Amino acid sequence: MKYFSYIVQSLNAINNANMSTELNLHSKKYLECLLAGKRKEAGMICREYFKQQKDIRDLYDNVITPALYEVGQLWEHNMISVAVEHLATAITEGILNEFYPEIIPHEYNGKKVVLTCVTNEEHQVGIKMVADIFELHSWESFFLGIGAPVSELKTFIEDVKPQCIAISLSVYFNHKILTEMIDELSVAFPDIPIIIGGQAFTHKGEALKGIAGKATHIATLLELESYILLQNPA
């Protein structure tokens, strides 16, 4: 399969240049399935890993997220097309949906979180995983997905009255939009913590400038779990 051979060669080139995420065996196999469009095999890798580890957060952090970051690297370096990137995203979203029954709590603990992407972004898989981790810890997640206008987001937050706002930034060049969102939301809701994260922060620290004291950067889902445990009632 010539196309798949080209993808593997591209992946090796990025690894050799030290530009890509360090991948474990499961994550590398998952990545190869994503790039080849093998949804069934990708799902089998995730189910087998979960069967062994019994930990959704571990699956997300150590298999799915590194592979998706690698897909982003390949796309940024023009080594895969937008169509292939979208295919990888669609396969992953389907797999996340398969695991949701393992996540949904028997009852919520009374805490709520509103989750969204930066306005104008179209990458929502990462923030969907964040929503799942909140649900795993009995929070009620209001996952808005692709960024809504800030004015509508503010109205929604006023109605829901969450204990946390989570915003994802996937594309570094949108960091100014993120800063503007945080400025507006922190003024409107000074008592609601804002957390931020996403692939954009793995490349350039400048994305964090201007938000000190207004939002907390969460780098991994493991860090997110620690944050949630501090917020959860005893």
pLDDT score recorded for residue 214: 87
Sketch the domain layout of the chain as residue ranges: 2-102, 112-231
pLDDT of residue 3: 56
Question: Is 20 within 8 Å of 11 (Cβ atoms)?
Answer: yes
Q: What per-residue confidence (pLDDT) applies to 159?
A: 98
pLDDT number for residue 170:
85
Architecture of domain 112-231: 3-Layer(aba) Sandwich (3.40)
The CATH number of the domain covering residues in 2-102: 1.10.1240.10
pTM of this structure:
0.88
pLDDT at 18: 46
pLDDT score recorded for residue 23: 85
Distance from C-alpha of 23 to C-alpha of 28, rounded to nearest angstrom? 6
- Per-10-residue mean pLDDT of the chain, 234 residues long, equals 55 48 87 95 97 94 94 87 93 96 93 94 91 96 88 97 95 86 95 92 64 85 94 69
